[in-house]
Amino acid sequence: MMVLVLALALGVTLGLLTDLQIPPNLLTYVGVAVLAAFDSCFGGIKASLERTFDDKVFAFGFITNTLLAAFIVFIGDRIGVRELYLAAVVAFGIRLFDNLASVRRIVFQRRGWE
Amino acid sequence: MQQSKPSRTREKLTHLKDVSLRHIAAGERVVERGFQNARLMATLAAALMLAGFMLVAQWRGNAVLAKSPERQTDQNLAIIIQELTSENTALRSEIMRLQTRIIEAERETSDRSQLLNEAAKELQALRAIAGFELVKGPGIHVTLVDDERVLLPQDFVALVNELRAGGAEAVSVNGMRVDALTGFSGGDGTIRVDGTVLAREFKVVAIGNPDNLEQSLTLPGGLKSTLSTFPGVTVVVERRDELTVAAAPEPVFEAGRPVEEN
């Protein structure tokens, strides 16, 4: 677990060091993509705790989820339904909370706190 | 006893072999699972790192956008416009004020430079009159020949006086400027100007209106006719268009000193 926290911290540090800024017209795309990426990560943590984790499935899911999220925003932009990104936000948000809850439950069960 | 002993030993050995094989297999499984776990962890860690990186980039971009006018509410925009308008007005009036100051300063400097110019011109004129500047212009050239050495210093004083009365602006005798401090002296047939003995042929140059100067010398009963009555003295007066009178040396005060009085 410590390794994962360190990896996240390393990513944040790298982002701070490289001074990269997403241009304003891409903000919505990357925002939803970030949400999708975090959702995938928590899904992966949950799967690894349930011992059903497969790294190929995870990597593929991570990439496709992220790209799909950005694509949904793009489609919404093109067909004049700008609010379509809200669908992606809601979907990924719910999944994020689900995954987090599962992780919490498993960890609590393992430690015998329940 | 003797027969059963080897068979029991074999049994024991077989058992030991089985046990050790099982342990090796278990160990291998553990190692394999460890490897797999490490791989899974590495994948997860890489994904998290990427997510963190994207998060920060997004955060930054959003922070920049939040400050841009497109993201402000109408009320905020109205306030911003009001502030900008009042700032604009203040800056406009500041520009006006500074421009007036520039115009004032320009006028002041032109006034001052004009004053300075006039003062410089006046100084130049005063220096010319006092004899400290080279003077060029029309005038007359007087040649005095005195073969018998009868001329006295008073005759030169009279000559310079006559010339000044005729409007001479600058006078020189044998190239020496006659200024406010010049004095003629001499005796025994020599004439000195400020202690310098003059050569025998005297050349007096006066700058001024040539007609007036000539008249002042050649009037009937004037200096020319008076001097010409002396034995061996000839006076030649010529009008010239372009004459030069040298500058006198700068004055040196030994006893007195100039005092400025307001």
pLDDT of residue A114 exceeding 80: no
How much is the average pLDDT of B186-206? Answer: 83
Contact A37 B40 (CB under 8 A): no
How much is the average pLDDT of A62-67? Answer: 90
pLDDT of residue A80 exceeding 90: no
Contact A41 B68 (CB under 8 A): no
pLDDT at B147: 81
**Does residue A17 form part of some domain?**
no
**Which chain B residue's Cα is nearest to A10?**
B49
Neighbours of B222 (CB within 10 A): 14
A62 lies within 8 A of chain B by CB: yes
Summarised one tens digit per residue, pLDDT across range A13-35 is 888 888 777 887 888 888 888 88
- Which are the contacts of B5, defined by CB distance < 8 A and separation ≥ 6? none
pLDDT of residue B125 exceeding 80: yes
Percent of chain B scoring above 90 in pLDDT: 24
pLDDT at B3: 54
How much is the average pLDDT of A48-68? Answer: 86
Query: In this structure, are residues A37 and A66 in contact, taking their beta carbons and an 8 Å threshold?
Result: yes
**Does residue A19 form part of some domain?**
no
**Does residue A9 form part of some domain?**
no
A25 lies within 8 A of chain B by CB: no
How much is the average pLDDT of B119-136? Answer: 87
Query: In this structure, are residues B177 and B131 in contact, taking their beta carbons and an 8 Å threshold?
Result: yes
ipTM over 0.85: no
Summarised one tens digit per residue, pLDDT across range B74-102 is 888 888 899 999 999 999 999 999 999 99
Confidence of residue B193 (pLDDT cuts 50, 70, 90): confident
pLDDT at B4: 62
How near does any CA of chain B get to the CA of A79, in Å?
A: 23
How near does any CA of chain A get to the CA of B32, in Å?
A: 14
pLDDT at B116: 92
**Does residue A15 form part of some domain?**
no
Range of the domain at A56: 24-111
* B58, B60, B67, B71: best to mutate for the A interface, most A CBs within 10 A: B58
- Which are the contacts of B8, defined by CB distance < 8 A and separation ≥ 6? none
**Does residue A12 form part of some domain?**
no
Mean pLDDT of chain A: 86
Contact A37 B44 (CB under 8 A): no
- Which are the contacts of A48, defined by CB distance < 8 A and separation ≥ 6? B40, B41, B44
DSSP code per residue over A60-113: HHHHHHHHHHHHHHHHHHHTT-TTHHHHHHHHHHHHHHHHHHHHHHHHHHHHT-
Contact A21 B61 (CB under 8 A): yes
Top pLDDT among B207 and A21 is at B207
Mean pLDDT of chain B: 86
The C-alpha atoms of residue B62 and residue A21 are separated, in whole angstroms, by 9
pLDDT of residue B248 exceeding 70: yes
pLDDT of residue B187 exceeding 80: no
**Which residues of chain B make contact with A62, given a CB cutoff of 8 A?**
47
How much is the average pLDDT of B196-225? Answer: 86
Per the structure, the count of domains in chain A is 1
**Which residues of chain A make contact with B68, given a CB cutoff of 8 A?**
24
The C-alpha atoms of residue A85 and residue B8 are separated, in whole angstroms, by 77
Top pLDDT among B76 and B116 is at B116
**Does residue A63 form part of some domain?**
yes
Summarised one tens digit per residue, pLDDT across range B130-165 is 888 888 999 999 998 888 888 888 888 888 888 888
Q: Which CB contacts under 8 angstroms, 24+ apart, belong to B37-40?
A: B39/A55, B40/A48, B40/A53, B40/A55, B40/A58
pLDDT of residue B2 exceeding 70: no
Contact B44 A58 (CB under 8 A): yes
In this prediction the pTM is 0.46
